[in-house]
Amino acid sequence: MSRLFEEIRSSPLLWLLVFVPVVLGVEIVRPDAHTLLFLLSVLAIVPLAALLSLATESVAERTGDAAGGLINATLGNLTELVIAVTALAAGQYALVKASIAGAIVTNALFMLGACFLLGGLRHHMQDFNRTGARLQASLLFIATVALLIPSAIVAADNIDNPEAIQKLSLLLALLLVAGYVLGLWFSLGTHRTSFASAAPAENHHVPLPIGLALVTLAAVTVLVALVSHIFVASVEVAGAALGLTPAFVGFIVVSLVGGAAEFASAFAAARKDRLDLSVSIALGSAAQIALFVAPLLVLLSYVVGPAPMGLDFWPGAVVMMVIAALSAALLTAGGHSAWFLGVLVLMVYAIFALTLYVLPLSQ
Amino acid sequence: MSRLFEEIRSSPLLWLLVFVPVVLGVEIVRPDAHTLLFLLSVLAIVPLAALLSLATESVAERTGDAAGGLINATLGNLTELVIAVTALAAGQYALVKASIAGAIVTNALFMLGACFLLGGLRHHMQDFNRTGARLQASLLFIATVALLIPSAIVAADNIDNPEAIQKLSLLLALLLVAGYVLGLWFSLGTHRTSFASAAPAENHHVPLPIGLALVTLAAVTVLVALVSHIFVASVEVAGAALGLTPAFVGFIVVSLVGGAAEFASAFAAARKDRLDLSVSIALGSAAQIALFVAPLLVLLSYVVGPAPMGLDFWPGAVVMMVIAALSAALLTAGGHSAWFLGVLVLMVYAIFALTLYVLPLSQ
Amino acid sequence: MSRLFEEIRSSPLLWLLVFVPVVLGVEIVRPDAHTLLFLLSVLAIVPLAALLSLATESVAERTGDAAGGLINATLGNLTELVIAVTALAAGQYALVKASIAGAIVTNALFMLGACFLLGGLRHHMQDFNRTGARLQASLLFIATVALLIPSAIVAADNIDNPEAIQKLSLLLALLLVAGYVLGLWFSLGTHRTSFASAAPAENHHVPLPIGLALVTLAAVTVLVALVSHIFVASVEVAGAALGLTPAFVGFIVVSLVGGAAEFASAFAAARKDRLDLSVSIALGSAAQIALFVAPLLVLLSYVVGPAPMGLDFWPGAVVMMVIAALSAALLTAGGHSAWFLGVLVLMVYAIFALTLYVLPLSQ
Higher pLDDT, C363 or A329: A329
CB of A92 within 8 A of CB of A254?
no
Chain B positions contacting chain C at CB under 8 Å are 131, 134-135, 137-139, 141-143, 145-146, 149-150, 152-154, 156-159, 161, 164-165, 167-168, 171-172, 175-176, 179, 182-183, 186-187, 190-191, 194, 326, 329, 333
Query: What percentage of chain B reaches a pLDDT higher than 70?
Result: 86
pLDDT tens digit sequence for B36-79: 988 898 888 888 888 887 787 777 777 766 666 667 667 778 88
Domain-embedded: residue B363: no
- Amino acid identity for residue A304 in this structure: V
Ramachandran angles phi, psi of C90, nearest 5°: -85, 0
Query: Would you state the pLDDT for residue B202?
Result: 47
Residue A67 lies in a domain: yes
Nearest C-alpha of chain A: how many angstroms from B135? 16
Q: Can you give chain B as a three-state secondary structure string? A: CHHHHHHHHHCHHHHHHHHHHHHHHHHHHCCCCHHHHHHHHHHHHHHHHHHHHHHHHHHHHHCCHHHHHHHHHHHCCHHHHHHHHHHHHCCCHHHHHHHHHHHHHHHHHHHHHHHHHHHHHHCCCEECCCHHHHHHHHHHHHHHHHHHHHHHHHHHHCCCCHHHHHHHHHHHHHHHHHHHHHHHHHHHHHCHHHHHCCHHHHCCCCCCCHHHHHHHHHHHHHHHHHHHHHHHHHHHHHHHHHCCCHHHHHHHHHHHHHCHHHHHHHHHHHHCCCHHHHHHHHHHHHHHHHHHHHHHHHHHHCCCCCCCCCCCCCHHHHHHHHHHHHHHHHHHHHCEECHHHHHHHHHHHHHHHHHHHHCCCCC
* Helix (H) / strand (E) containing C173: helix C162-184
Question: Concatenated DSSP letters for C134-164?
Answer: HHHHHHHHHHHHHHHHHHHHHHHHT---HHH
Tell me the average pLDDT across A254-266. 81
Residue-averaged pLDDT of chain A = 80
pLDDT of residue C106: 93
Choose the mutation target among B128, B129, B138, B319 for the interface with C, i.e. most C CBs under 10 Å: B138
- One-letter amino acid for residue A335 of the chain: G
Closest chain A C-alpha to B126 CA, distance in angstroms? 11
pLDDT in tens, C205-230: 667 778 888 888 888 888 888 888 88
Eight-state DSSP code of residue A12: G
In this prediction, residue C102 carries a pLDDT of 92
Question: Which residue of B lies nearest to C339 if distances are taken between CA atoms?
Answer: B186
Distance of CA C350 to the CA centre of its chain: 18
List chains adjacent to chain B, taking adjacency as at least 3 C-beta pairs closer than 8 Å: A, C
Q: Could you tell me whether strands C336-337 and C126-127 are parallel, antiparallel, or unpaired per DSSP bridges?
A: antiparallel
Flag whether C47 is in a domain. Answer: yes
Q: What is the mean pLDDT of residues A299-309?
A: 86
ipTM: 0.80
- Contact between C352 and B149 using a beta-carbon 8 Å cutoff: yes
Band (pLDDT 50/70/90 cuts) for residue B109 is: very high
Given a cut of 80, whether residue A265 has pLDDT beyond it is no
CB within 8 Å: C348 and B142: yes
Please answer yes or no on whether A165 and B316 come within 8 Å at the CB atom.
Answer: no
Total domains in chain B come to 1
Mutate to test the interface with A, among B251, B340, B343, B345 (most CBs of A within 10 A): B340
CA distances from C225 to C87, C100, C308 (A): 10, 17, 21
List the beta bridge partners of residue A127.
Answer: A336
Contacts of B316 in chain A (CB under 8 A): 153, 156-157
Using the predicted structure, report yes or no on whether residue A164 has a pLDDT greater than 90: no
Could you tell me the pTM of the whole model?
A: 0.83
Cα-Cα-Cα-Cα dihedral sign, residues A215, A217, A222, A227: positive
CA distance C110 to C207: 28
d(CA A23, CA A223) in angstroms, rounded, equals: 11
The pLDDT value given to residue B105: 92
Element (H, E) at A337: strand A336-337
Q: What is the pLDDT of residues B232-253, one digit of tens each?
A: 888 878 888 888 877 888 888 8
**10 Å Cβ neighbour count for B46?**
21
Amino acid at A303: V
CATH assignment at residue C204? 1.20.1420.30
pLDDT digits (tens, 9 = 90+) for A213-225: 888 888 888 888 8
| Domain membership flag for residue B160 | yes
Please say whether the beta carbons of B118 and B267 come within 8 A. Answer: yes
Angstroms from B331 CA to nearest CA on chain A: 6
Q: Would residue C352 count as lying in a domain?
A: yes
Q: Is C313 helix (H, G, I), strand (E, B) or coil?
A: coil
Tell me how far apart the alpha carbons of residues C233 and C186 are, in angstroms, rounded to a whole number: 40
Task: Round to whole Å and give the CA distance between C243 and B178.
Answer: 26
Residue B159 vs residues B281, C259, C278, C349: alpha-carbon distances, Å: 36, 30, 37, 20
Residue C143 CB contacts under 8 Å (≥ 6 apart), including other chains:
A344, C176, C179, C287, C290, C291
Q: Give the residue numbers spanning the domain of B156.
A: 2-358
Q: B319 to chain A nearest CA, in Å?
A: 7
| pLDDT surpasses 90 at A16 | no
CA nearest C336: which of C121, C113, C129? C129
Give CA–CA dist A103/A77, Å, rounded: 10
Rounded to 5°, the CA angle C292-C293-C297 comes to: 115
* pLDDT mean over B186-205: 59
Q: Is the dihedral of CA A151, C146, C88, C358 positive or negative?
A: negative
Amino acid present at C118? L
In chain C, % helix, strand, coil (3-state, to 5) comes to 80, 0, 15
In a domain, C248, yes or no: yes
Does B138 sit within 8 Å of C340, measured CB to CB? no
Answer whether A157 sits within 8 Å of B362, measured CB to CB: yes
DSSP-assigned letters across all residues of C335-355: -EE-HHHHHHHHHHHHHHHHH
Mean pLDDT of B194-204: 48
Element containing residue C126 per DSSP (H, E): strand C126-127
pLDDT digits (tens, 9 = 90+) for C126-183: 777 556 666 777 778 888 887 887 777 776 666 677 777 888 888 888 988 888 888 8
* Chain A interface with C: residues with Cβ < 8 Å: 124-125, 155, 314-316, 318-320, 323, 326-327, 330-331, 333-334, 336, 338-341, 343-345, 347-348, 350-352, 354-355, 358-362
Query: Cβ contact (<8 Å) for A135 and B331?
Result: no
SS3 C127: strand
In this complex, the chains that touch A, judged by 3 or more CB pairs closer than 8 A, are B, C
Q: Is C27 contained in some domain? A: yes
Mean pLDDT of C322-339: 81
Residue C313 lies in a domain: yes
Shortest distance between the Cα of B323 and any Cα of chain A, in A, equals: 8
| C334 contacts B152? CB cut-off 8 A | no
Q: How far apart are CA B275 and CA B269, in angstroms?
A: 6
The torsion defined by the Cα of C68, C70, C71 and C77, in degrees rounded to 10, comes to 130
Q: Is the pLDDT of residue A168 over 90?
A: no
Residue C105 confidence (pLDDT): 92
The pLDDT of B257-279, averaged and rounded, is 80
| Residue C219 CB partners (closer than 8 Å, separation 6+) | none
Residue B319 to residue A153, Cβ atoms within 8 A: yes
